[in-house]
Chain A
């Protein structure tokens, strides 16, 4: 048994919890590879799921973090082009298809041939990581299916086998109406935070470490609602048509479902959650999916002939991302009302019994799995009353998990009644805690994966933090029991700043830190603490104050949040304006009432939504039930203000929207376009080309006859091997002489970083350096400051911008006084803008059907398929190739690619001005805003000058994640080639080097290539003609970008839209531009495209490398 498998199987806790990094520290490459072989053999034979998964995570971490440095020092393959960056396409294709075991087999076979290269390590790391997560996810799914009470739904394969019947109480009409079963459910907050121990995987492997203090609460929005109410409601009633009528009042969506297929099509509309609820509650058993049964058959069996069911949900204005588990509790509410109605719970009305609550929770997990989402096991806490401890349970005899995992899927809930936490102490908590939604919308998925990974690796600091967190749980519980809310606040703050951030540094952000600092400054001793809800801060958060100042603090907090949002809205992805809540502990949990006779109406906003269409319909088509309902509604509007108010809103909804928003958006869009030099003729030309199919995704590709080959020996300068002391001296001299400048490309909208939220990436405060969050831009300027200090002359630093980024970057620099570099920083204002198009169906299909796509987990794949069908319908409905204008103006336009950012320097006079200031300027280093390691390295600068090339591009040896082209010989010409230009995806996998886009530019030679000289720069016409003519020699690529459209309360839809762009790397394709290529280290060349990269970037030393290049202000 190897030392690592001994850790995994160790019965002694100290051995079992030994951190991997400690176990592999100091091992030689040979020893570590031997350990890898042992682990690889172990996971294949181990019977215990968690032992297999842990072995896989060990293998992942070794390949991701521990082998690459050893390969560099002991097993270098530098310069061996057969090995550098080479990953077989076959293995990659297996990864895409989720055949992880096969992928690993192929990569290992390659390693036998070429040795375990850096590239193969990246591929193996991905394979092992994905396989481990897949095994864990599969186990949760199996466990969900295996829960007793859930299994029958998977067996029911025909309408005749449907075992449920509607309770007779709901089938008995009174006063002409069927009764309404009305469920009201709390949401939950996790007072202990729990260090994410409610992730299913953790609870199932480490049940003793999975504990949370979960509180069911009612909410009221400050300034809108009077008293806190259960925020989540679900209503069910029988209707006289054999259909399923689903309505989400808060999302403004209603649909009548006529066939089973639609029930399983979650992404077809905004009612996926209601459908998941229907299925998880067994009304439409999951086994019926694909059965071809008529829905009427199912309904007849359930309700009787000619009858159907209406299900209505209402979330009382609580926005998405509140970290209060609104969607899980809404699902719980839906499931509860459906289970009650079909006799699956003991009680039809009132509170649920404990066994029934557990069943509802199990079904909610099932529903989340079906919807392709997933929460933690405490999320359905709102179904339970009051305050409870939820903790993992060891799997025992008879549990489906026995022998598979140490813990059970479902945790244990222990309600803390008034004898444990007195009413007075509960009031104290209510009197001090201010709950808020900061407005940030963030994806917590990567955070949860990081937590799982770190737990399974038992990484030293994180494991200690988890133990510390467990101790703090007891202290928090004790503070609550004794009513010491001040101590509670102190503990939650220490918890947030200590263990939570030790486990996940990304749990905090600049917005949160500013809020805490502000509250501390303003309320000093009366600010008792901060508390993070859910996966990460920025959305739902808690601030604890002395009770006598709570009212004042609530108001101030709202003002401060709004002010900070205004300051940061270009940097961070805010989905909505911040809100402050009043809350009260809900002591009933999910609670149901049966409304009969004249009381059998739905909530007033339901009528605001549905009445306009009912009133427009021919009255003769309304059934008796609807007529009676409208009569009763009419009566209620005369006596109840809530119904009265809904009538007013009905009138608003009756008339088509005046579309004030759309008109004003339209005007703003026109202004934006004209201000930024939009060229309508070129736009119309592009549209015609796009609609005619002369340009498009398929047309981006080079002809298939083009020969794409890997570089040859001598094509690329290996920086670590080939740079000389003379190069360094030459570069240092140039720096001292002030002949050098930097161009940071900062026109981008952080499409991938924020999944289309449209913020300024340069201003994203992505990481803490020297004690506070720093933006990408500040990091680049800190490198310039260091260069200036080291060489005695401040290099020029040009920041190129676009319509989107100019104003915010300019304001931000002013605000920070250019970080002390005012004299050497120049902003180049973007002069190019494009208007996005609604995509062509052929391009959507090409992207989704003709290019290799990552296959997702079965359910997520179905969801994605369904979303894609809906998006194709949208494109056809909105008009393929038409202008995309149905969004905020800034989301309708786009920068036209980074190629334009350099010509813009010529067009807007920036370069002319700078040359005038510094006539000695000869060389520019251009880099992307997310290439954090790029700096004015003197040796590379000296090499560029030695070679005398117009452009010198930096490339890095490829890893698996480096997709999108690379350095190639295209018909024997050495050039950079974009991924979207490659006709065969396999070609990319033969390329050793990936383009970093970092590029050294000889200013005069570049001008010459444009047909210009320094003296010509003053001649606007000449410059403009030169740029236009030059631009025509470069291809325009059509790309599809995701943009978010925000609506409702923090809701977001993502649309793929078409835009075009020209790319700087294509400069290397022009024969007259002399271009050189240097292979640099990954630390220098890697780009940060996705926040999920941050953790690995921190752990593999990249962050420290960047820090070492900077001098912070």
Chain B
């Protein structure tokens, strides 16, 4: 299976700000998040990228494109009908091809030398010829932010799992009953890392569900992924790397530090952090010390 297309969804209410957020990249250059995402995509050998945006937002992104390798297509989501709908808007773009789906509010740092997270995923999907989602063992305290999968080990050495079920933002109670994955520590679940290689099947399923929705219903992606797990072989790859969700308190900061600590100026940043920590004692800690 050859993957030559990618879709980035950026039609959520805050997503345009995040995508246009400036970070310092590994080389110490000022980059937009969009630029980092495009780097990630092109590293996997993909050059055709569609960006799903809100109507009229195309111009916002034009200046942020700093990659010449990419042929970027803008697709407008006419109305906010959910994440699944944003993906479905790219159906014409993806056509009969498998495609890499990425979220616009995630930044990735790979732990595998010489291979980005997107490369790992695309390589696995190409080799398996199946739909594959990138997943990451995630502590139960973060379940409220992610989709999670129930899966069995498929190829342990390749870190591949066979997905049985997908649940969006499960409660820990539900996760413990239905989403435990052998081999993970207690309290950890395989959660989506915001990156999937999907096949046209998913577009079919999204279309079916969309047609069954009422006029104002929202279309999510997880339900269709869950359905896909029933209809076809659907794998999950535990990526060797970390995803940073920018849409959290301190999300951008954490992503920045992760990227910087992975780059050329690691020592400089570390020195700065140590100094910062030394100069900023915890307030309540200081009070306790003073009282003592």
Contact = CB atoms under 8 A, between A and B. Distances in A.
Interface residues of B, number: 17
B25 to A, nearest CB: 29
B143 A163 contact: yes
Contact of A160 (B140, B141, B177): B141
Contact of A163 (B171, B180, B186): B171
B141 A156 contact: yes
Given A160-B141, A161-B141, A163-B143, A339 B173 contact: yes
Given A163-B144, A163-B171, A155 B177 contact: no
B174 interface: yes
Nearest to A152: B172
Interface in B168-203: 169, 171-177, 180, 186-187
B139 interface: yes
A282 interface: yes
Contacts of A162: 141
Interface in A125-171: 148-152, 155-156, 160-165
Given A148-B177, A149-B177, A163-B144, 6 more contacts: A152-B173, A155-B187, A161-B141, A282-B172, A344-B171, A359-B173
A168 to B, nearest CB: 11
Summarize B's interface: helix, strand, loop or mixed: helix
Chain A CB within 10 Å — which of B143, B172, B174 has the most? B172
Contacts, number: 49
Nearest to A281: B173
Nearest to A301: B141
A152 B177 contact: no
B29 to A, nearest CB: 34
A379 B140 CA distance: 31
A343 interface: yes
Contact of A343 (B139, B141, B142, B171): B171
Given A163-B171, A164-B171, A151 B176 contact: yes
B173 A149 contact: yes
Nearest to B143: A163
A41 B187 CA distance: 40
A703 interface: no
A771 interface: no
B19 to A, nearest CB: 25
Contacts of B144: 163-165
Contacts of A342: 171
28 contacts: A148-B176, A148-B177, A149-B173, A149-B176, A149-B177, A151-B186, A152-B140, A152-B172, A152-B173, A155-B140, A155-B186, A156-B141, A160-B141, A161-B139, A161-B141, A163-B140, A163-B144, A163-B171, A163-B172, A164-B144, A164-B172, A165-B144, A282-B172, A339-B173, A342-B171, A343-B169, A344-B172, A359-B177
A161 B142 CA distance: 8
Nearest to A282: B173
A344 B177 contact: no
Contacts of A164: 144, 171-172
A355 interface: yes
Given A164-B171, A342-B171, A355 B141 contact: no
Interface string A638-656: 0000000000000000000
Contact of A344 (B141, B174, B186): B174
A163 B189 CA distance: 12
Nearest to A155: B187
Bin the interface of chain A by size. 20 to 34
B178 to A, nearest CB: 8
B218 to A, nearest CB: 13
Interface in A343-391: 343-344, 355, 359
B139 A152 contact: no
Contacts of B140: 152, 155, 161, 163
Contacts of A282: 172-173
A149 B170 CA distance: 12
A355 B173 contact: no
A153 to B, nearest CB: 8
Contacts of B173: 149, 152, 282, 339, 344, 359
Chain A CB within 10 Å — which of B144, B171, B180 has the most? B171
A349 to B, nearest CB: 17
A698 B180 CA distance: 58
Contacts of B177: 148-149, 355, 359
A417 B142 CA distance: 41
A42 to B, nearest CB: 34
Contacts of B139: 161
Contacts of B186: 151, 155
A149 B171 CA distance: 9
Nearest to B284: A294
Interface string B112-153: 000000000000000000000000000111111000000000
A717 to B, nearest CB: 68
A160 B248 CA distance: 14
A160 B140 CA distance: 11
B250 to A, nearest CB: 12
A162 B142 CA distance: 9
A244 B45 CA distance: 54
B174 A163 contact: no
Chain A CB within 10 Å — which of B140, B169, B173, B174 has the most? B173
A23 B186 CA distance: 47
Contacts of A160: 141
Contacts of B143: 163
A1098 B124 CA distance: 75
A160 B180 CA distance: 22
Contacts of A150: 176
Contacts of B174: 149, 344
Chain B CB within 10 Å — which of A151, A165, A355 has the most? A151
Nearest to B144: A165
A267 B176 CA distance: 31
Contacts of A161: 139-141
Interface string A450-472: 00000000000000000000000
Contacts of A355: 177
A148 B187 contact: no
A344 B176 CA distance: 11
A416 B171 CA distance: 31
Contacts of B176: 148-152
Contacts of B175: 152
